[in-house]
Amino acid sequence: MIDKRELTEDGLEKNFATSTLGVYIFTTSLIPVLQKEQDPQVITVSSGGMLVQKLNTNDLRSERTPFDGTVVYAQNKVRDMGFPRLHCTHGLCRPSSKESLLWDAQ
């Protein structure tokens, strides 16, 4: 977790680039391989940090509000938990139960 707002060479906030985009790029790059498997699984792990923040869709790049590394970390963890549902759009997942945040691959 980076405690001050820093940017990558591409102008992205570093926490967002590593914790959100890194996870997204890595897992979506696996989709073609997973789709060829008989029983593929994508397991997304987060932390309790996701429980302390609601997703702020008005400031995804942490530009409009005072920077707080802990808050930015929690925001990234909340975003990460949306990835399993995104993977379902590629036919890889189904909800394991209506009450669960865990999603199983088909």
Contacts 24+ apart (CB under 8 A), 46-54: 46/77, 46/80, 46/81, 47/77, 49/73, 49/74, 49/77, 50/74, 50/77, 50/78, 50/80, 50/81, 53/77, 53/78, 54/78
Residue 73 appears among annotated catalytic residues: yes
The tokens for 65 are 């509000």
Residue 23 CB-density burial (10 A; 0-12 exposed, 13-18 middle, 19+ buried): middle
Catalytic residue among 34, 50, 72, 73: 73
Residues noted as catalytic: 73
